[in-house]
Chain A
Amino acid sequence: MNPTTLSMLSREPHVITAGTALLGEALDQQAVARTDVDWRPPVPGTAAALAAALADPRRERANALAVGRMVSARPRLAGVRPAREALGLEPGTFLHAGPPISWERASGPMRGALIGAMLFEGLAASPEDAEERLAAGSGITLDSCHHHRTVGPMAGVVSPSMWMLEVADAEHGGTAYCSLNEGLGKVLRYGAYGPEVVERLRWMGDVLGPALQAALALNGPLDLRGLIAQALQMGDELHNRNRAATSLMVRELAPAVVEAAPGHAAEVLRFINGNDHFFLNAGMAAAKVSADAARDVPGSSLVVAMARNGTDFGIQVSGLGDRWFTGPAGVPDGLYLGAYGPGDANPDIGDSTITETTGLGGFAMAAAPAIVRFVGGDVADAVAATTSMYEITLAEHPAYQIPGLGFRGTPVGVDVTLVARTGTLPVVNTGIAGRVAGTGQVGAGLVSPPMEAFTAALAALTDV
Chain B
Amino acid sequence: MNDLVEVRAGVYRDSVSLMRVSQALAALPGVSVAIVAMATELNVGLARDAGFAVPAATPGDLLVAIRASTDDAVQEAAAELERRLAAREAAGAARHEDRPPRTVRSAARAAARDAAGSGGATVALVSVPGEYAFLEALDAVEAGLSVMIFSDNVPVEQEILLKDRAREQGVLVMGPDCGTAVIGGAGLGFANVLGPGPVGVVAASGTGAQQVTSLLDLAGVGVSHLLGVGGRDLSAEVGGRSAIQALRALDADPATELILLVSKPPAPEAAGAVRDLGLGTKLVTALLGPGQDDLTTAVEKVLGALGREVPAWPCWPAPPGAPGTPGSECRGPLRGLYSGGTLCAEAAVIAGNGEFTDFGDDAYTRGRAHPMIDPTLRLEALDAVESGVVLLDVVLGHGADPDPSARLAPAVARACGRGVAVVVALVGTDGDPQGLRVQAARLNEAGAAVFTSNAAAARHARDLAAACVHS
A424 vs B104: C-alpha distance when bound (angstroms): 15
B140 and A9 within 8 A (CB): no
Main secondary structure of the interface of B (DSSP, over half): mixed
A36 and B106 within 8 A (CB): no
The residue on A at minimum CB distance from B106 is A391
Residue among A1, A39, A383 with the highest chain B CB neighbour number at 10 A: A39
Q: Which chain A positions have C-beta within 8 A of B99?
A: 38, 384, 387-388
Is A4 close to B, CB under 8 A? Answer: yes
Is B115 close to A, CB under 8 A? Answer: yes
Is A32 close to B, CB under 8 A? Answer: yes
Partner of A23, one of B34, B123, B125, B224: B125
B42 and A14 within 8 A (CB): no
The residue on A at minimum CB distance from B166 is A6
The residue on A at minimum CB distance from B247 is A4
Q: Which chain A positions have C-beta within 8 A of B122?
A: 7-8, 11-15
B161 and A55 within 8 A (CB): yes
B123 and A338 within 8 A (CB): no
Is B327 close to A, CB under 8 A? Answer: no
Q: Which chain A positions have C-beta within 8 A of B307?
A: none
Q: Mark A350-373, 1 if CB is under 8 A from B, else 0.
A: 000000000000000010011111
Is A374 close to B, CB under 8 A? Answer: yes
Q: Which chain B positions have C-beta within 8 A of A27?
A: 125, 186-188, 398
Partner of B128, one of A2, A18, A337, A422: A18
A23 and B33 within 8 A (CB): no
Interface stretch (choices B19-27, B313-321, B385-393, B459-467): B19-27
Is B362 close to A, CB under 8 A? Answer: no
A10 vs B191: C-alpha distance when bound (angstroms): 19
A26 and B104 within 8 A (CB): no
A27 vs B183: C-alpha distance when bound (angstroms): 12
Q: How many residues of chain A are within 8 Å of chain B by beta carbon?
A: 78
The residue on A at minimum CB distance from B47 is A338
A262 vs B350: C-alpha distance when bound (angstroms): 101
B187 and A36 within 8 A (CB): no
Is A165 close to B, CB under 8 A? Answer: no
Given contacts A23-B188, A54-B135, contact A6 B151 (CB under 8 A): no
B50 and A37 within 8 A (CB): no
B151 and A8 within 8 A (CB): no
Number of A-B contacts (CB under 8 A): 252
Partner of B121, one of A2, A14, A29, A47: A14
The residue on A at minimum CB distance from B141 is A60
Given contacts A18-B104, A26-B398, A373-B20, contact A39 B138 (CB under 8 A): no
Partner of A373, one of B17, B46, B102, B115: B17
A6 and B170 within 8 A (CB): yes
Main secondary structure of the interface of A (DSSP, over half): mixed
The residue on B at minimum CB distance from A14 is B121
Least Cβ–Cβ distance between A428 and chain B, in angstroms: 17
15 contacts between A and B (CB under 8 A): A4-B245, A6-B170, A8-B123, A10-B184, A12-B122, A18-B124, A22-B399, A35-B110, A35-B114, A36-B100, A55-B134, A337-B42, A338-B49, A370-B14, A373-B19
Q: Which residues of B pack against A, CB within 8 Å?
A: 14, 16-17, 19-20, 22-23, 26, 33-35, 37, 42-43, 45-47, 49-50, 90, 92-97, 99-111, 114-115, 118-129, 131-132, 134-136, 138, 140, 142, 145-146, 150-151, 158, 161, 170-172, 183-189, 191, 224-225, 245, 248-253, 369, 373, 398-399, 433
Q: Which residues of A pack against B, CB within 8 Å?
A: 1-20, 22-24, 26-27, 29-30, 32-33, 35-42, 47, 50-51, 54-55, 60, 184-185, 335-339, 341, 366, 369-374, 377-384, 387-388, 390-391, 404-406, 418, 421-422, 424, 443
Given A37-B100, A55-B138, A387-B99, 17 further pairs, Cβ under 8 A:
A6-B249, A9-B225, A13-B186, A16-B107, A16-B145, A18-B107, A19-B151, A20-B150, A22-B399, A37-B101, A39-B103, A47-B132, A55-B161, A337-B46, A377-B92, A379-B95, A443-B19
